[in-house]
């Protein structure tokens, strides 16, 4: 029995990302297209999202151009792919404070947000460093931190200092300090409501960019290759390996149950529909009785 439908919604795309950013040590091994996407989880009682993308204005647009990102679509158009509107969203889990994940909170007026406390604290710290030390602030839009502060003041931002079980029924949040970002958050959906779950999914944020990062798409602890951590990271590769192991353990080492939103292959591994460049829906699973949004 599946309680939630799960869709990955692509909202923009970057045609050429250096393999060195995707896989640690792979600099000079070519480029790959990288979709930008967020995740919708819909049950009978909730519409939740993992990340909200960015808004293509102001510094968000500047950063997007820096990363060669194109074909941006706003959340009203994107959420319509699964029959929803931004106002329907009641809960949002922000995996980390990079602009393409945290950059459009104001488009979701009825949502309550979750983010790691240390992620936002260290992001402010990173921005305070001198120009020559700005690498840790790459991908951070100061405007997003200001909007986050306003949400906190309005009682709509919950800042986590540890893991949180059953934040919504069947959904656990886990923190991964000093990995891709200062304190990334990953989401474990137990879609049968059980613990341990035999129908689990992990929304990995940028802890995983591509399946190479977690040893491919095979099943079983010994089936895959060694983990090769993401290249673009603020913390350590050791911590990324440990986070990969923690995520895979949750899904009994069935690697396709780890969902990396930037993985270009995702839309060929699951049923999907591409409307135009930068606008696609991938249907990871359907709740019992829910209507497919593909085809
Ligand atoms: Zn990121």
Tokens (6 digits) for 22: 């995707």
Distance between Cα 258 and ligand 1 center (Å): 16
Query: To 10 degrees, what angle do helices 142-153 and 117-128 make?
Result: 140
**pLDDT of res. 223:** 86
Distance between Cα 60 and ligand 1 center (Å): 14
Give burial (CB, 10 Å; 0-12/13-18/19+) of 269.
Answer: middle
**pLDDT of res. 49:** 98
Distance between Cα 184 and ligand 1 center (Å): 9
pLDDT tens digits, residue range 276-294? 999 999 999 999 999 999 9
Distance between Cα 20 and ligand 1 center (Å): 15
Distance between Cα 289 and ligand 1 center (Å): 34
Distance between Cα 181 and ligand 1 center (Å): 7
Distance between Cα 263 and ligand 1 center (Å): 13
Residue that is written with structure tokens 């839009």 in the block: 141
Distance between Cα 191 and ligand 1 center (Å): 26
**pLDDT of res. 167:** 98
Distance in angstroms (rounded) separating the CA atoms of residues 148 and 161: 16
Distance between Cα 96 and ligand 1 center (Å): 7
Q: Which residues of the chain have pLDDT under 70?
A: none
The strand pair at 272-276 and 279-285 is best described as antiparallel
**pLDDT of res. 1:** 84
**pLDDT of res. 107:** 98
Q: Residues with beta carbon < 5 A to ion ligand 1?
A: 98, 206
- What strand order describes the sheet that includes 157-160? 157-160, 112-116, 91-93, 47-50, 31-42, 5-18, 279-285, 272-276
Distance between Cα 207 and ligand 1 center (Å): 8
**pLDDT of res. 176:** 98
Cβ atoms of 279 and 35 within 8 Å: the answer is no
Distance between Cα 132 and ligand 1 center (Å): 21
Nearest to 28 by CA among 36, 20, 16, 40: 20
**pLDDT of res. 222:** 87
Q: Residue 163, Cβ neighbours under 10 Å: how many? A: 13
Distance between Cα 101 and ligand 1 center (Å): 7
**pLDDT of res. 23:** 97
Residue that is written with structure tokens 């995707």 in the block: 22
């Amino acid at each position: 029995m599946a309680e939630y439908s799960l869709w990955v919604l692509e909202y923009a795309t970057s045609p050429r990302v250096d393999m060195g950013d995707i896989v640690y040590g792979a600099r000079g091994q070519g480029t790959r297209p990288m979709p930008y996407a967020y995740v919708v989880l819909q049950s009978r009682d909730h519409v939740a999202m993992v990340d909200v993308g960015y808004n293509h204005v102001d510094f968000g647009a500047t950063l997007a151009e820096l990363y060669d990102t194109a074909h941006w679509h706003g959340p009203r158009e994107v959420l319509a792919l699964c029959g929803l509107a931004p106002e329907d969203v009641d809960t949002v889990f922000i995996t980390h404070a990079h602009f393409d994940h945290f950059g459009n909170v104001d488009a979701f007026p009825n949502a309550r947000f979750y983010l790691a406390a240390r992620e936002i604290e260290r992001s402010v710290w990173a921005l305070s460093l001198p120009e020559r030390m700005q690498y840790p602030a790459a991908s951070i839009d100061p405007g997003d931190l200001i909007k986050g502060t306003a949400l906190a003041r309005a009682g709509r931002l919950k800042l986590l200092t540890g893991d949180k079980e059953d934040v919504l029924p069947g959904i656990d949040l886990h923190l991964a300090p000093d990995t891709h970002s200062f304190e990334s958050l990953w989401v474990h959906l137990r879609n049968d409501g059980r613990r341990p779950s035999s129908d689990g999914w992990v929304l990995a944020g940028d802890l995983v960019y591509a399946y190479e990062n977690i040893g491919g798409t095979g099943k079983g602890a010994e089936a895959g290759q060694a983990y090769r951590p993401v290249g673009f990271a603020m913390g350590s590769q050791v911590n990324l390996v440990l986070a990969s192991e923690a995520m895979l353990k949750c899904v009994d080492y069935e690697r396709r149950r780890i969902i990396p939103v930037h993985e270009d292959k995702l839309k060929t591994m699951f049923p999907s529909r591409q409307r135009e460049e930068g606008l696609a829906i991938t249907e990871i699973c359907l709740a019992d009785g829910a209507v497919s949004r593909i085809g």
